[in-house]
């Protein structure tokens, strides 16, 4: 679960980190009044609270010189989708003069299977570019997950960035706070970019936290506190899918895709692509799906307008062919066969599944190549 910038900053502030003074505004708010109440003096920064990467480059962050300009820009940003998603709120923040912009993050190094601190003196711009062009400028430090990030390790990172004196202490203490958030919130990523240098101290101008979805049961307070709903992260159809519990990702093409298992579903997309088609989505029914779930998934794609045809690719291991077939037949019965549906079915209870589908007038392929050619020819 990705947290919004303002949520991440609230979490930092609750742990004693100084963040720029700001106010959160919602659609319909009297923006000028809110700015005055918060005692914010221009220049200000108006920031679209969306959860897509590259928000700044996409025009979601604007510097304004007056309250009037802030009001005008806020109206504009509320109506401006960033990479397809509209913000549920805007963060209006005091623009802070600063001497330098650093980068600091804690994430998990999958290969080392340890937490890793990443830091750079060149924050603020696209850190991925920096990582490619000047890999030596990225400082990495692995952390023993049973010991946590100790103070001297945090200072070692700061020293490697060339910091000294009080700024070194401020940076190290900030890193330790990031780590404590990383650990306490089961985060996949805790990041500040840019992390400004203001005199002897660091000040996070932006902050990102991604909490491990699998650990959310331990962090109900995050969900309970959320003031901005799904908006800001998902498209309209993705929101619908999440509401009925389907792991669905919207894409740009026209071929609806259903598979079982993330790997096979991705492979199915790749197959469509390599035969000249373009997938409209990713939809994985997982392992051991029952008829009910299959019905829901197929029904959803029958409704999903971007998909003008559906390609369903199932290789049953713990997923049973008969359950899959029953689900497909029920979905078609309920929604009607509004668009072409090609099914490829193999694995456990393949024959029974095939029979159920054929009885309902749906042909089930064995060979996926044959099936993909068919679906693209329609």
Partner 1 sequence: MVVLLDESARVIVQGITGREGSFHTKLMLEYGTKVVAGVTPGKGGSEVHGVPVYDSVEEAVRKHPEANTSIIFVPARFAPDAVYEAIDAGLKLVVVITEGIPVHDTMKFVNYAKKKGTVIIGPNCPGIISPGKAKVGIMPGHIFKPGKIGVVSRSGTLTYEISALLGEQGLGQSTVIGIGGDPIVGLTFTEAMKLYEEDPDTEALVLIGEIGGDMEERAAEMIRRGEFTKPVVAYIAGRTAPPGKRMGHAGAIIMMGAGTYESKRKALESVGVPVAETPFDVPRLLREQLRK
Catalytic: 191? yes
Contact 64, 73 (CB under 8 A): yes
Map the footprint of partner 1 across residues 194-213, applying CB under 8 A.
Answer: 212-213
Based on the shown chain and the rule CB under 8 A, indicate whether residue 256 belongs to the binding site for partner 1: no
Residue 243 in contact with partner 1, rule: CB under 8 A: no
Among 240, 290, 346, 355, binds partner 1 (CB under 8 A): 346
Stretch of 18-26, 27-35, 268-276, 289-297 contacting partner 1, by CB under 8 A: 268-276
Residue 264 or 360: which CB sits closer to partner 1? 264
Least distance from partner 1 to the Cβ atom of residue 322, Å:
14
Please tell me the distance from the alpha carbon of residue 312 to that of residue 345, in angstroms, as a whole number: 8
Site for partner 1 in 110-149 (CB under 8 A): 110-111, 113-115, 118, 127-128, 131-132, 144-147
Contact status: 306 vs partner 1 (CB under 8 A): no
Out of 93, 101, 103, 250, the active site residue is 103
Task: Please identify which residue in 42, 56, 247, 340 interacts with partner 1, judged by CB under 8 A.
Answer: 247
Angle (deg, nearest 10), helices 368-377 and 262-274: 60
Distance (Å, whole) CA 155 – CA 150 = 9
Residue with smaller CB distance to partner 1, 140 or 225: 140
Residue 231 has which token pair?
Answer: 């908006």
Residue 152 within binding range of partner 1, rule CB under 8 A: yes
- 321 contacts partner 1 (rule: CB under 8 A): no
Residue 104 · residue 118 · CB < 8 Å: yes
Q: Whole-angstrom Cα distance, residue 258 to residue 343?
A: 9
Phi-psi region of 343 (alpha: psi -120 to 50; beta: other; left: phi over 0): beta
- Is 234 in the active site? no
Question: What does 305-333 look like in DSSP terms, one character per residue?
Answer: TT-SEEEEEEEESSS-HHHHHHHHHHHHH
């Amino acid at each position: 679960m990705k947290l919004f910038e303002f949520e991440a900053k609230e979490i930092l502030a609750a742990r004693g980190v100084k963040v720029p003074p700001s106010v959160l505004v919602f659609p319909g708010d009297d923006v000028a009044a809110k700015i005055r109440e918060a005692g914010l003096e221009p220049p200000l920064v108006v920031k679209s609270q969306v959860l897509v990467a590259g928000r700044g480059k996409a025009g979601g962050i604007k510097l304004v010189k007056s309250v009037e300009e802030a009001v005008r820009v806020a109206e504009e940003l509320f109506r401006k989708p960033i990479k397809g998603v509209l913000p549920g709120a805007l963060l209006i923040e005091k623009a802070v003069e600063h001497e330098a912009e650093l980068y600091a993050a804690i994430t998990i190094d999958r290969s080392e299977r340890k937490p890793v601190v990443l830091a750079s003196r060149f924050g603020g711009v696209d850190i991925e570019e920096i990582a490619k062009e000047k890999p030596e400028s990225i400082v990495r430090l692995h952390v023993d997950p049973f010991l946590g990030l100790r103070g001297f390790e945090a200072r070692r990172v700061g020293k490697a960035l060339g910091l000294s004196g009080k700024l070194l202490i401020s940076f190290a203490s900030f890193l330790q706070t990031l780590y404590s958030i990383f650990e306490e919130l089961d985060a996949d990523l805790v990041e500040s970019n840019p992390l400004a240098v203001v005199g002897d101290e660091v000040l996070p101008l932006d902050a990102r936290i991604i909490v491990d979805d699998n650990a959310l049961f331990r962090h109900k307070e995050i969900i309970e506190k959320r003031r901005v709903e799904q908006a800001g992260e998902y498209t309209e159809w993705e929101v619908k899918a999440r509401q009925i519990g389907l792991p669905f990702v919207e894409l740009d093409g026209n071929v609806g895709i259903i598979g079982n298992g993330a790997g096979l579903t991705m492979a199915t997309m790749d197959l469509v692509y390599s035969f000249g088609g373009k997938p409209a989505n990713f939809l994985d029914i997982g392992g051991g799906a029952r008829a009910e779930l299959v019905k829901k998934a197929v029904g959803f794609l029958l409704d999903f307008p971007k998909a003008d045809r559906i390609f369903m690719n199932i290789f049953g291991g713990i997923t049973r062919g008969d359950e899959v077939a029953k689900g497909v037949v029920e979905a078609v019965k309920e929604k009607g066969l509004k668009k072409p549906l090609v099914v490829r079915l193999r694995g456990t209870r393949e024959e029974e599944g095939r029979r159920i589908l054929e009885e309902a007038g749906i042909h089930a392929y064995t060979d996926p190549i044959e099936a993909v050619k068919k679906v693209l020819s329609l």
